[in-house]
Amino acid sequence: MRVACPGCEIRNRALCAGLSDAELAPLSALKRRRRFAKGEPVIWAGDENMIFANVVSGVLKLNATTADGREQIVGLMYPADFIGRPYASSTRYNVVALTDAELCVFSRKHFEQALRTYDKLKRLLLQRTLDELDHSREWMLLLGRKTAEEKVASFLVQMARQIGRGGCARSPLDEFVLPLSRAQIADVLGLTIETVSRQMTRLRSAGVIDLPTTRSIRVLNEIALSARAEQG
Sheet architecture: strand order including 60-65: 41-43, 94-97, 60-65, 71-77
Cα 53 to Cα 224: distance, rounded to the nearest angstrom: 36
Rounded Cα gap, residues 98 and 103, in angstroms: 13
Beta strands in 32-174 (DSSP E): 32-36, 41-43, 52-57, 60-65, 71-77, 82-83, 94-97, 101-106
User: What gap in Å lies between CA 214 and CA 222, rounded to an integer?
Assistant: 20
Q: With bands split at pLDDT 50, 70 and 90, how would you rate the model's confidence at 61? A: very high
Give the tens place of pLDDT for each residue, 158-172.
Answer: 888 887 654 444 556
222: pLDDT strictly greater than 60: yes
Q: What's the pLDDT band for 69 if we cut at 50, 70, 90?
A: confident
Length of the chain: 232
Q: Give the model's pLDDT for residue 89.
A: 78
Looking at CATH, the fold of the domain delimited by 5-137 is given as Jelly Rolls (2.60.120)
Q: What is residue 168's predicted lDDT score, i.e. its pLDDT?
A: 42
Domain spans of the chain? 5-137, 146-230
- The CATH topology of domain 146-230 is Arc Repressor Mutant, subunit A (1.10.10)
What is the reported pTM? 0.79
